[in-house]
Amino acid sequence: MMLYKSVLKPVLFRFDPEFIHDLFTDAGEFLGRHSLGRSLTGLFYNYRGKDISKTVDGIKYRTPILLSAGFDYNGRLSRILDRVGFGGEEMGSVTARQCSGNPKPRLTRLPKSQSILVNKGLKNEGVDAIIKRLKATPCNRDLVTGISIARTNDAKSVPIQAGIADYVYSFRKLNEEGVGDYYTINISCPNAFGGEAFTTPELLTKLLEAFKKVPCSKPVYVKMPINIPWDQFNSLLKVIDSFGLNGVVIGNLNKDYESLEFRAEAPSVYKGGLSGKPCTHLSTDLIYKTREVWGKRFTIFGVGGVMSPETAKEKFDAGADLIQLVSGMIFEGPELIKKIAKSL
């Protein structure tokens, strides 16, 4: 099914990326609501080969490929993503209060660089609205639902204590309501009001001390930045280890604009972070080093520039237990997930 790349993509890429994203979300939600929509989507895109399921931290994933955070940020696609071959999704990032996002443009496609410049600013409806939606949505046993938690992107949550309280509000609510199969603490959003405050060992310690006070029986991971030196990265791993968390998602967007292959297609004023191909090697190297230094201590979700079966294999070879992707699906189409699954 090359329908997406050869027919749809050239048309879709003429329109505003956020408009297209909303259109796909509406369509995906609609298809997921109806058994015919689910069946037809599955007919074209689902993986039906040998068993490639994987159990990680007690959770069984039908395929080891997840949709990365940022695509289904309001939790509207949990009834359809399994039909596209995903074994799970990381929903969100959700925040304690509703966020309307940064001023537009929030997304800029960089087709030659196979990247998206993301300056979304954590646009989402807020954790309470998302919990309400998920509780009203029939459970989908074929799709693991991870929920990414971030700090609300506004001035109110910038002071450190307020920021911690903001994160913990969402975590507590999700646990109390029993929503989500695992949780990821997103400390590395590049385009939020208060910056990446919790990427120092001292402040990450304070944040995790507060998380620790909330009863939680599900796996918890931390989403890592990819532009910090190994020493700093490793010092964050030491903190994560000391709190007994299950693992890490490696990692978030690339904030080094110099690494862009075709600078001419990018806006002159940069804001945000780069997804896709510019993330590939930075994240794979950090996955490899983490596995080398820490052995099996951490579960690793490998994310960043998975654009093909080959780049997926690189992530697994480097030591990832599971992979996540978003840009690969946008540039290569939903058939990419089945292609990767078949190659495993």
Residues that bind ligand FMN (CB under 6 A): 68-70, 73, 92-93, 107, 116, 118, 120, 122, 148, 186, 189, 223, 252-253, 275-276, 279, 303-306, 325-328
For residue 256, the SS3 value is coil
Q: Are 247 and 298 in contact (CB under 8 A)?
A: yes
Of residues 38 and 322, the one with the C-beta less far from ligand FMN: 322
Q: Where are the beta strands (DSSP E) in the chain?
A: 54-56, 59-61, 65-67, 88-94, 107-110, 115-118, 144-149, 182-186, 220-224, 247-250, 273-274, 299-303, 322-325
For 89, the token pair is: 């999704």
Distance CA 187, CA 169 (A): 15
Strand partners of residue 124: 99
Cα–Cα distance list, 178 to 89, 183, 254 (Å): 17, 11, 33
Distance CA 27, CA 64 (A): 25
* Residues found in the chain: 344
**Helices vs. strands in the chain: H and E counts, helices first:** 11, 13
Q: Pick the closest to residue 305 from 148, 133, 113, 123 (CA basis).
A: 113
What sign has the CA pseudo-torsion 232, 248, 72, 303? positive
Work out the angle between the directed axes of helices 160-177 and 201-212 (0-180°, nearest 10): 40
Nearby residues of 315 by Cβ (< 8 Å), 6 or more positions away:
283, 284, 287, 302, 303, 306, 323
What's the number of CA atoms in the CB half-sphere (13 Å) around residue 128? 6
